[in-house]
Amino acid sequence: MKQNSKKIVIVGGGIAGLCAAVYALKCGYQVEVLEMHDMAGGLAMSWCRGPYTFETCLHWLVGSSPNGEFHAQWQEVFDIERLTFVNLEEFVRIEAESGDGLSIYTNVDRLETELLRRAPQDAVAIRDLTRSIRSLGKFRMLDPSGGLAGNWLNMLRDLPVFPLLGKLSKMSGKDYGSRFADPLLKSFFSTGDVGRLSAIAMVLSLAWMNTGNAGYCIGGSQAMIRLIEEKLSELGGKIRFKARVERILVENDTAVGVQLSGGETVMGDWVISAADGHATIFDLLEGKYVDAATRKMYDEKELFASYLQISLGVALDLKHLPPMSTYVLESPVLLDPGNEIKHIGFRFFHFDPTFAPLGKTAVTSVLPTRNFKYWTALRDNNLAAYRAEKRRIADVVIALLERRVPGVRGAVEIVDVSTPATVFRYTGNWKGTMEGWLVEPGAGFKPLPNTLPGLKGFVMAGQWVMPGGGLPSGPMTARPAVKAICKHDHVPFDVHSEHVEKPEPVAV
């Protein structure tokens, strides 16, 4: 076995921490992952209540198609072929209270027909949209660990779409939506964080859906997390749960290990933090290794919102409903102080048979909020009021659903509400954000530096070094983190072959 004697301690067992572990193990390092929760996944999470499973994360996974962009990188970290993907025909249906509805189909031809039928006055903008979806379908993301040498072929292939990419990256979703006169089409691009994001995010996602490369895997995000965990233990790695790191230990400006909340120390030759960026830099390292640019980033840059998730176990077969619906509300609803919602989204998980018994459906609604402090303070200072607020919001959500799906109220047998305080307790993400840095128009998806000035023996991975986050940010940031360590240690970065000691065949 080409194992080297060096050990990497990894803080956080979300997708990035797990991927970093697999890459490091493949390069022969000893690895110990320390995860504060009692299971792996971080934001890539679902939970069981009675016979229902409620997914929080997975809508689509870029790289789901065997021929698609990013599939090969998933193969480096787990056996993605063991997942079963479904490519839903309808991505989302947007419905006004009047009953007027617009379907966003994943197939671009069908989408074009639907949009032209509905909004012939927007024909020019619609054709421009569908042309963009078609041209971006083959777009190849650059490998952040590849440099020019590793990326020149992709850059050459992508050359024809660079002007389009440039144009869409500079525009916000809201600006993009303003090209359409149709109110529902406009609202598809402009609602919530989609409206603040660079328009490229949504158009590229539609492009990958059209090529079948942004499927949903049965079992949700935990199905893939379990397979990566399996790969990790197959390669001899160790993951410890309920192991909260309180401090990164530093000697002579070199990270030498970590201290857990109980006082135990875990030493290593390298520390990779795949945990929350703010906590890593300002708490675990006490803000000692931070330059002005990083401080400015954390002081000023916009994050994706946090969210409440209302999850309902419904004793009805809801297959007649689209997998995801957004209802435009005639009168806004107060979610939390100063925050009224004008749209509400529902996911009806009838397409995942592992989430509810036959004839029943797991239903979720994610309500974005930036009132993180309100929720954490309420939970800390007045648990009874916090619970009452959760109940109030669940009642509002059920009432809104009842307006669209008459009779559903009587069939709700499980109600579960998570808040930004829950997101923070279980993942440690700063301000309870759902994906880290929001990619604003003009900002681009360029990764952030994964080291800190003046600190050796330390690298970061995960959504805090890859604006836009998402599951692919796990391997995309874990790969360069481990590659940099290998380069420093003069260890070959060979992640295709697995450095697992195969037992010698025994002669009989």
Task: Report which of 323, 100, 94 is spatially closest to residue 192, judged by C-alpha positions.
Answer: 94
Smallest distance, ligand FAD to C-beta of residue 55, A: 9
Question: Binding string, 103-122, against ligand FAD, x = CB under 6 A?
Answer: --------------------
Strands 101-105, 90-96: pairing is: antiparallel
Q: Work out whether 277 is an interface residue with ligand FAD (CB under 6 A).
A: no
Q: Which is nearer to ligand FAD, 28 or 173 (CB)?
A: 173
Strands 7-11, 270-273: pairing is: parallel
Binding residues among 285-344 for ligand FAD as defined by CB under 6 A: 307
Question: Token pair of 149, please?
Answer: 């040498």
Q: How many residues bind ligand FAD (CB under 6 A)?
A: 40
Q: Which of 30, 46, 56, 418 binds ligand FAD (CB under 6 A)?
A: 56
Strands 61-62, 214-217: pairing is: antiparallel
Smallest distance, ligand FAD to C-beta of residue 402, A: 24
Smallest distance, ligand FAD to C-beta of residue 35, A: 5
Q: Which of 133, 185, 275, 344 binds ligand FAD (CB under 6 A)?
A: 275
Contact 340, 368 (CB under 8 A): no
Contact 102, 182 (CB under 8 A): yes
Contact 310, 364 (CB under 8 A): yes
Q: Which of 207, 429, 438, 476 binds ligand FAD (CB under 6 A)?
A: 429
Q: Which of 10, 22, 35, 248 binds ligand FAD (CB under 6 A)?
A: 35
State CA 218 to chain mean position distance: 17
- 3-state SS string for 211-273: CCCEEEECCHHHHHHHHHHHHHHHCCCEEECCCCEEEEEEECCEEEEEEECCCCEEECCEEEE
Smallest distance, ligand FAD to C-beta of residue 24, A: 15
Q: Work out whether 21 is an interface residue with ligand FAD (CB under 6 A).
A: no
Q: Which of 207, 434, 455, 485 binds ligand FAD (CB under 6 A)?
A: 434
Smallest distance, ligand FAD to C-beta of residue 205, A: 9
Q: Work out whether 245 is an interface residue with ligand FAD (CB under 6 A).
A: yes
Contact 108, 97 (CB under 8 A): no
Stretch that binds ligand FAD, among 53-61, 91-99, 247-255, 293-301 (CB under 6 A): 53-61
Q: Which is nearer to ligand FAD, 115 or 481 (CB)?
A: 481
Q: Which is nearer to ligand FAD, 155 or 267 (CB)?
A: 267
Structure-token match 């675990």, residue found: 284
Q: Work out whether 435 is an interface residue with ligand FAD (CB under 6 A).
A: yes
Smallest distance, ligand FAD to C-beta of residue 432, A: 9
How open is the CA angle 154-155-157, to the nearest 5 degrees?
65
Q: Work out whether 194 is an interface residue with ligand FAD (CB under 6 A).
A: no
Stretch that binds ligand FAD, among 163-171, 339-347, 392-400, 428-436 (CB under 6 A): 428-436
How open is the CA angle 231-232-234, to the nearest 5 degrees?
60
The Cα-based distances of 297 to 300, 378, 428, 448, 465 in angstroms read: 5, 28, 19, 10, 11
Smallest distance, ligand FAD to C-beta of residue 428, A: 3
Q: Work out whether 479 is an interface residue with ligand FAD (CB under 6 A).
A: no
Q: Which is nearer to ligand FAD, 190 or 222 (CB)?
A: 222
Q: Which is nearer to ligand FAD, 54 or 374 (CB)?
A: 54
Contact 157, 133 (CB under 8 A): no
The whole-angstrom separation of Cα 122 and Cα 137 is 23
Smallest distance, ligand FAD to C-beta of residue 477, A: 7
Q: Work out whether 469 is an interface residue with ligand FAD (CB under 6 A).
A: yes
Q: Which of 8, 9, 10, 11 binds ligand FAD (CB under 6 A)?
A: 11
Q: Is 383 exposed, middle or buried (0-12, 13-18, 19+ CB in 10 A)?
A: exposed
Question: Binding string, 436-465, against ligand FAD, x = CB under 6 A?
Answer: --------------------------xx--
Q: Which of 22, 24, 27, 34 binds ligand FAD (CB under 6 A)?
A: 34
Return the number of other C-beta atoms located less than 10 Å from residue 149's C-beta. 7
**Three-class secondary structure of residue 442 per DSSP:** coil
Question: Token pair of 85, please?
Answer: 């993907």
Q: Which of 9, 10, 15, 227 binds ligand FAD (CB under 6 A)?
A: 15
The whole-angstrom separation of Cα 223 and Cα 114 is 34
Q: Which is nearer to ligand FAD, 271 or 316 (CB)?
A: 271
Q: Which is nearer to ligand FAD, 161 or 274 (CB)?
A: 274
Q: Which is nearer to ligand FAD, 28 or 219 (CB)?
A: 219
Smallest distance, ligand FAD to C-beta of residue 501, A: 29
Contact 367, 393 (CB under 8 A): yes
For the chain, first and last CA: distance in Å? Answer: 24
**Three-class secondary structure of residue 299 per DSSP:** helix
Residues in Cβ contact with 279 at an 8 Å cutoff, skipping those fewer than 6 apart: 428, 430
Contact 202, 194 (CB under 8 A): yes
Residue ranges in contact with ligand FAD by CB under 6 A: 11-17, 34-37, 42-44, 56-61, 244-245, 274-276, 279, 307, 366, 427-429, 434-435, 462-463, 469-471, 473-474
